[in-house]
Amino acid sequence: MRIIPAIDIIEGKCVRLSQGDYETKKIYNEDPLEVAKSFEGAGLSYLHLVDLDGAKASHIVNWKVLEKIATRTELTIDFGGGLKTNEDLRIAFESGANQITGGSIAVKDPDTFTQWIKAYGSDKIILGADAKNEKIAVSGWQEGTEQEVLEFISEYVNKEIKYVISTDIDKDGMLEGPSFDLYKKVLKELPDIKLIASGGISSIDDLIQLKELGLEGTIVGKAIYEGLIRLEDLRDLFD
């Protein structure tokens, strides 16, 4: 299972939220590059970079942060947050993203998102399936829908999506453990997808359980910043 540390960006700074609430913002570092280099220095290879300003604005905002990290580290970066147009996608890839994640656009403009899968290939486009009470939420998690998460993922599997990041919003940033039941349910119905867990990770034990479930990857954020999980333990256990 791949371990994918997360950096969330607001106003160019490394922050974390709880349950997607911008009012809970906590700044952990003024320089995201410094954080990315610490991940790389610990032997990790991947990075989940989220443009929270972009998610709110519905267009890419912090592309210069992406560019700086991409040019000054060797990390494999997946980038998301506010990608809505072909121009947003062009900027993200030209700035150094290896993959991009689309969530809101996959709900609100499925034709464009499906075009992206066809144009760039299923190795480059990740489906963001973020849910509250197992129903998809969009627009930086500020807007709920009535679409069931399993049904939503299934629709895109039929459109050849391969990678899926699924965050249980109620778990995100709470350090109370991930949504094991949700991931079991998804993998039981869709065993061939590369499912990436996100939200609620609080310990190495959580990661071991997710690996045993068959997750392709897990995104780890607040647990690292709060010192609950040490980078060297991630490297030693999952490299």
The CATH homologous superfamily for domain 2-238 is Aldolase class I (3.20.20.70)
Give the Å distances, CA to CA, from 233 to 44, 98, 117, 120, 227: 11, 26, 35, 35, 11
The residue assigned the tokens 């969330």 is: 8
Strand-pairing partners, residue 16, are 26
pLDDT, tens digit (0-9, with 9 covering 90-100), for 183-229: 999 999 999 999 999 999 999 999 999 999 999 999 999 999 999 99
Q: Percentage of the chain with pLDDT > 90?
A: 77
Secondary structure in 3-state letters for 63-131: HHHHHHHHHHCCCEEEEECCCCCHHHHHHHHHCCCCEEEECHHHHHCHHHHHHHHHHHCCCCEEEECCE
- 105-152 residue pLDDT tens: 999 999 999 999 999 999 999 999 988 888 897 765 566 677 899 999
Do the Cβ atoms of 132 and 170 come closer than 8 Å?
A: yes
pLDDT: which is higher, 177 or 142:
177
Domain range summary for the chain, segments of one domain joined by +: 2-238
Contact 150, 166 (CB under 8 A): no
pTM (two decimals): 0.93
| 238 token code pair | 């999952």
Measure the CA–CA gap between 131 and 124, rounded to whole angstroms. Answer: 22
Q: Which residues are catalytic?
A: 8, 130
